[in-house]
Structure 1
Amino acid sequence: MPSSQHEALHRIFRDKPELYAHAFKMLNIDFPTPKEVAVVDTDLTEISPIERRADTVMMFTSLWGRKHVVISESQSQRDDRKISAWAYYISHAHIKFGCSVTLMVICQDAATARWAREPKPIGLAGHPSLVVRPIALGPDIVPAITDTAEACTDAVLTMYSALTHAQSPKVDAILKALDVALTTIDTDTAKYIAEQTEIGLGDTHARQIWRRLMTMQNYRFKSEFAEMLRAEGEARGEARSVLKVLERRGVPVTESTRERIMACTDHALLEGWLLRSLEVTTAEELFEGDA
C-alpha cells in the first residue's frame, strides 16, 4: 500500500499543476503552454482482473487544442518490476485518450532518478519492440532553493525542492527559506504547503526540522498545525503507556505488535487497549473485538 509520503510526492503535481512547467523547464524539455489542465481517471484497468493504477494522470490541452497526457509516478528505489507496469500505463493511456503520453518519475535520491531515466528496452537485444524512457526528477535535477528571496517568489517550487532534497544536507537551508516564504502568501496556500511538506518529508530528520519551524513561527494557521502535533504527541504517549503496562506485567510483545500500537493515533482505540493491557495474557488479545 502506498505511503502518505509516496502520495504527497505526486499529489502536489495534481493539486498545483504549475509545477509541471517548472519540471519540464528543469529538464530542458519544450512543452506547449496549456490552455486547460484536468485530472483524469488514474484507473488504467481493462476487463482483465489485474489492477493497474497509476499515481497521477493529468490531461493538458494546448492553446491549439492538442492534448497531451502526463503520468506522474513516485519511486523510492530501483524496481525493475515497474518497467512492465510503466509500459502498460503509457500504452493504455495512448489508446484510451488518443494522444501523446509522457511518463514522469519523481524520486528523492539521485541514484533512483538516474535509474528511472535510463532507456528500458523491451524485446530482442539490439532490436527492442518498445523502449520505456521516463523523464525523472530527483535532487540531481531539481535545484536546492536556499535563497529566501527566491523562495518567496515561488513557495510551491520551494516546497518541491525541499521534498526532493529531503535526504540532502541542504534541506535545512531549504526548509528555513520555505518557512519565511509561507509568511508572504495567503493562509490557505500556506496551510496546504505546510501540511504537504510535513507528509512528503516522511520519516526523515528533515521532518523534525520542519516541525520545529512550524511550532516556533507565528503563522495564521499555526494553532491548527500545533494542535495536530499536540494530538499526535498525546497519542504516542498513550501508546507508550500500553507498552509499558504489558512490559511490567511480563506480557511478550512482538515487533509487529509494537509497531501497530505505536502507529495508532485513535485515542478511543488506545484507551481501550490501555484498559485491556491490565488483563490480557498475550499482546494480540488487545486487538480482539476491534472493528
Structure 2
Amino acid sequence: MRLLSLISLLAITLLTACTPARLYRAEVLHGDVVWQGRVDIAGDLVLAEDSRLTILPGTEVIFHSPAPGDDRWREHPNFTGSELIVRGVIDARGTAQAPIRFRPATRTIAPGSWGGINIGDSSEAVFAYCRFEGADSALHAQNSTVYVEQSVFRRNRIAVRFHSSEILIEHNRFERNGSGIRFHYGSPVICHNEFVDNGRSIFITAHPKEVHIEYNNFVSAVDYHLVLGEEVPEDVPAGRNWWGGTEPERIGELLFDRQRDPYLGRIEIQPLLKAPVDGAGPR
C-alpha cells in the first residue's frame, strides 16, 4: 500500500509539472487573479480597475512577441511589444529564496524585448524581491501609488519610469540599464539603492518636488549618475549619497546640471558620505 501511495504521489507530481503554462493574449482581467508558476503573455494584457492581481513567490512572467493585432497600445504612455497594463491593484511579493521574475521569451536578454508593466491610476502597486530584464520600461507608473523594494533591474532601456506618482524605491539594484530611474512631476523617495553601469543612473526630466535621493551607492555609470533635463531649473538635493569618492570635482564629472547648462538647476551633493552605504541594494 505504501508503494502504491508513493507511485500515486509521483504521478500527481509529474502531472502537475507537465501542466502547460497559462498563456494570455490581448484580453482584460477582472476580479481577483492569482498567478503562480509560469505565466506567458503575448500581447497587451489589461488588469481592469475592478481587479486585484497577486503574484506568488517563484513565479516567472514571460513576455512573447505579440501576434498581429495583439499589440493594441503602442503610443506613449504605452510601448511597442507585450505589456501588462495595470489599472487595478497588483501585489507582486517574492522572497529572497524565490524571487518573481519578469523577462522576455528570447534567450538573449536585450533591452526593449518587451514593453513593460504599465501602471495607470492604481491605488496600490507593490513589487518586492522581483527581477526585471529586457524591457523597454520595466515599470512605468502614472498617477499611482507604487512601492518597489528588494528588486533587481538589469538590461532594460529604462528600469523605473514615472510621473505624478507617490513612489518609494528602496533597496534595489540597477545594473546595465539605459536609465535606472527616469521621472518628472514626482516626489519620490529613492534610498538605499545601488547603481552599477547604467547609461544614466537617475534622469529627472521636469519639475521635481520634495525629492528624497539619499543613502544610495552610485558605483559606476556609462554617461552620468544624475542628469537634469531642460525643464528642471530647480536645484535638486542629493546629499548623503556615496558617489564612488569624496572629491567634488571628480563627482561633478558624472553630474549634468548648471555646471554644463546655465538654464538648469544645481545638483546639491553636500553633505558627502565618506564611505559606501552599508546594506544598500537588495538584502
TM-score above 0.5? no
- Structure having the larger proportion of residues in helix: 1
Greater relative CO, 1 or 2 (CA 8 Å, sep 6+): 1
Higher strand share: 2
TM-score with structure 1 setting the length? 0.25
TM-score normalised according to structure 2 size: 0.26
Larger Rg: 1
